[in-house]
Structure 1
Amino acid sequence: MRVASKSAIGRAAWTAAALVLALLLLVLLLLVIVRLPWAGDLGIHAATIERLRHHLADPGNPLVDADTPSPYYSPWMLLLGSLAKVTGLGTFVVLRVAALVGLGLLVTGVVHLVRTFSARRTAPPLALLCLLLLWGPTLFNWSGFLGLNSLALTISYPSTFALGLSFHFWALLRKALRGAGWASCLGLGLLWSVILLSHQFTGVVASCGGLAMVLGARPWPSRAVLVRLGGGLVVGLAVLALWPYYSFFDLFGSGSLEQIHRSLYRHLLPHFGLALLGVAALALRWRRDRRDPLVLFFLLGAAMFAAGGLTGHYSWGRVLPAALIPAQLAAALEVFEVFEANRAGVRRAFAGLLGVALLAGAWTQAGTLGYAVPRDALPARVAAKYKPPWPGYNWLPQEVKYGDVVMAKTFPSRQIPAYGPYTVAPGYPDFFLSDQEQRLAAVRDYFAAGTPRAERLDILRRYGVRWVVEYPGDGGLRADDSALRRAGVGPKGQVLYEVRG
């Protein structure tokens, strides 16, 4: 009786702590949405909405003045662009709407999926805590990765929307495997295609999870159900093939993202070490069931991640959430298994380790508070972990119009298109821009120290440049050149010049 009593007290403590902490983190994320900190890829997503707002059917390249397709024109961004066009809401207001929808889908998706594994009410909030906090002792931010700090910076991105849909996709698939009609299975195929079109890397994660749910189904699904799911797969492939805004299957031929993603293979333990507790939980699940869906999910993700590192296909590293998510979910679910066990030492050890790991993860990401409250309101040790967001380019004068072309280096080129202008070269690799290398070379030549004045002027004319944005020491035409007029000053000494003539 005493063991049972201690077990009940332990469950009650975990229940209260998980519920309170999960609610606090959700409130924090809602406050983050109000401020919408700028970092990473926010500029490209804002620019995508801007292009769709102005030209819904044929938006052209989101970053440069060129008529090309773009993988950023997904069903989700098309919906957001339509919202901006119909309502007249500002682009950053629409991105806040996207963040609210993405967060809602993510939270409800986690609850939906976890309930297919456990009926315990505490399991979903504890799973949320593990997904947000069980990462590593060193901060790691990347879209499609669910660490608290990373999510705070990417909450309005299509990756968050796609991840939320993915959790619902896995849950619905698990239910469909028990017996579902044609409508449900065809709908799953459509949902799968929307995830893949909205964020291709998350689509791969969703596909790994979907395959794991099928292979790990108990009892094994009937032949009729598998045929219907095959019909859903055909529907999904058809949508991918027929999507009019870009060719999904052409993306497989792009090899320009490998070096960008090489960093995913560095510092694995500092970035993800706390998730090893989830790997231990997966080992316990594997001992009970050799076809456990979470174990299979982890193995598929880990195998593809390892293959990417071994073959130099570093962009495959974006599949890493397919290994992390099942490990984090297993850590949350295994707590309840050890509470049911009679071995009190195992129970206390695992629950204690998970509690310590969650606290360590929370401390690592404590700087996220700075995105919701003023930095000077934070304790000094927490404020030291806060990284200020990018300032943006809302300081550009109103005379810089939509569609104007701006000459700028890479970092400004990641932000300026968010406000409507184009840049000479894209701030991000572009799969479908045939003259990308020439544009990048033109920017380098314009700012290079030894480039003659006549060649700089020729570059400005060639690309129809109306404005130049540069930091002190960037190079380019002299500030007193007759071809330029000083038109504005921004943070860190940036200067906006109007190109005359």
Structure 2
Amino acid sequence: MTGRLWTTRVAALVLLLLLLLVVVRLPWAGDLGIHAATVERLRHSLLDPGNPLVDADTPSPYYSPWTVLLGCVAKVTGVSVFVVLRLGALVALGVLVTGVWRYVRVLSARPAAPALALLCLLLLWGTAQFAWSGFLGLHSLALTVAYPSVFALGLAFHLWAWLSRPSGWGVWLGCGVLWAVILLVHQFSGVVASLGALAVVCAGRAGRTEWGRLGAGSALGAVVLWAWPYYDFFALLGAGDGMDAVHRSLYRDLFGRYWLVLVGVAALGARWWRDRRDVLVLFFVLGAVVFLTGGVSGHWSWGRVLPAALIPAQLAVALEVVEAGRRAVRAAWACVLGAALAVGAWGQVGTLGYVVERGVLPGVVEERYREPWTGYHWITPWVRYGDVVMAKEFPARQIPAYGAYTVAPGYPDFFLPDEGGRVAAVRAFFAEEAVGAVRRGIAREYGVRWVVDRGDRFRGAEGLRPVARGPGGEVLYEVVW
């Protein structure tokens, strides 16, 4: 085994070890609250969990095959929902790594290719810190490793690997079911998986037999989507406009976040020159077209498809290093990629802060550390499962993780018919000019038992009694009307 192969594999193992240590600490960030809340609802009622965030009997796209499985684990074992999420993160990380390994082995027989591809997927991004579910940068993955998107993307790599091999009816039908499961687990990653699958089929110059099997597999997948009992998958097709505002930021600072991927785009150009129907080139074009169309049309939620352009570019440059023509050409690619990976690693070095105490990091590294959320464990001695808490949007994203409900969901909820009224009620409750009678009426309408607010604005307010103070100056009030 050459020294370069050893170096590549050791580097990949170091990053995987870092992610495993991250799982142990499981930093609070982003959507972790809603995923914890989803598992908590399923633990209490697998068949009729209701809305995961508010006290309403509505379906939710967060009830996927993956979270239902985690809910079953939580129900059977009785362990904390955060322990279950850690176990799920370990499984998802394993599925992702083995999926990358399998798909890259389809594209190249070189021993160093899978480990180098994994390094590119984790480090070949930009120098501006960026984290979003479904994006595989090291910093992003460290904060989202317990999210369903990681499991869905891992399954996507396995799907592409299976579709790339000649196979019979059974495999095609199985791929149809797997495609449906990916879409149910994480819809945005499901779109990425679909574009990748389409690229595989088109690059393979499928004949009439293959297209027939593809149609049968797709039809079976559609049946699985239709039959899923926890929510109407096809109703989500009309939910895009309501998600645009929250995704506007995906089209900002594109160069700072992704400029190192340009190395991969150059590699795609080399692959296109050799083969006009190269699978990674087709995959990149499909993803780039959808992403650019979303930006031009103002459908910002389409920005979630960007991994469909990033992943093939990252894989392409890894493959050029091990397969491109003469040794001198490969050496040139290796030098360029090595420099890019070093810059990318420095851009994401703040990830170290999630596995060691911030104070022991060097100053230049500490500056890149992103403080995770502290959570709301401090309210649990008083707030019980099923209690309704009045809180603004930011705490409303975390509080349901501990079993409580909030008046308005912390995230857009397509299936909640009175979402607008709930948001308005929260705004009216916290308005500076609101009088006691208004707040009392809102509290009674939604069954509010507790209020969480930052600062002492409600000190001495009618009907509210302070019972606990949390980090950052937040106060828990009991409703005593």
> What range is the shorter-chain TM-score in?
over 0.9
1:205 to 177, 184, 192: 192
* Contact kept in structure 1, 2:322 and 2:330, CA below 8 Å: no
Partner of 2:377: 394
| Offset, 1:488 | 0.8
2:422 to 413, 424, 439: 439
2:301 to 315, 331, 355: 315
Give the Cα–Cα distance (whole angstroms) in 1 for the partners of residues 332 and 140 of structure 2.
29
* Contact kept in structure 1, 2:380 and 2:402, CA below 8 Å: no
Give TM-score scaled by structure 2 length: 0.98
Partner of 2:202: 215
Partner of 1:252: 237
Partner of 1:194: 181
- 1:260-279 pair list within 5 angstroms: 260-279=246-265
Give the Cα–Cα distance (whole angstroms) in 2 for the partners of residues 14 and 214 of structure 1.
33
Give the Cα–Cα distance (whole angstroms) in 1 for the partners of residues 257 and 225 of structure 2.
34
Note if 1:38 corresponds to 2:2.
no
Which 4+ stretches in 1 moved above 6 angstroms? none
**Structure 2 gaps, min length 5:** none
Question: How many residue pairs get matched?
Answer: 480
Q: Secondary structure at the match of 2:478?
A: strand
Partner of 1:65: 55
Partner of 1:4: none
AA aligned to 1:492 is G
Give the Cα–Cα distance (whole angstroms) in 2 for the partners of residues 183 and 118 of structure 1.
25
Partner of 1:8: none
| Offset, 1:337 | 2.4
Q: Secondary structure at the match of 2:183?
A: helix
Question: Structure 1 residues 470 and 125 mapped into 2: Cα distance closer, same or farther (>3 Å)?
Answer: same
* Contact kept in structure 2, 1:397 and 1:488, CA below 8 Å: no
| Offset, 1:480 | 1.6
- 1:396-475 pair list within 5 angstroms: 396-472=379-455, 475=457
| Offset, 1:185 | 1.0
Give the Cα–Cα distance (whole angstroms) in 1 for the partners of residues 333 and 318 of structure 2.
11
* Contact kept in structure 1, 2:350 and 2:369, CA below 8 Å: yes
CA RMSD of aligned residues (A): 1.2
Q: Secondary structure at the match of 2:101?
A: helix
Partner of 2:126: 136
Q: Secondary structure at the match of 2:377?
A: coil
1:480 to 460, 464, 473: 460
2:227 to 242, 247, 259: 242
Partner of 1:3: none
Partner of 1:233: 218
| Offset, 1:296 | 0.1
AA aligned to 2:405 is Y
2:364 to 374, 377, 381: 381
Give the Cα–Cα distance (whole angstroms) in 2 for the partners of residues 65 and 50 of structure 1.
14
Q: Secondary structure at the match of 2:100?
A: helix
Give the Cα–Cα distance (whole angstroms) in 2 for the partners of residues 272 and 391 of structure 1.
29
| Offset, 1:374 | 1.2
Give TM-score scaled by structure 1 length: 0.94
**Structure 1 gaps, min length 5:** 1-10
Note if 1:124 corresponds to 2:114.
yes
AA aligned to 2:107 is F
Q: Secondary structure at the match of 1:260?
A: helix
| Offset, 1:372 | 0.9
| Offset, 1:14 | 2.9
AA aligned to 1:249 is F
Give the Cα–Cα distance (whole angstroms) in 2 for the partners of residues 197 and 429 of structure 1.
18
AA aligned to 1:73 is Y
| Offset, 1:16 | 2.3
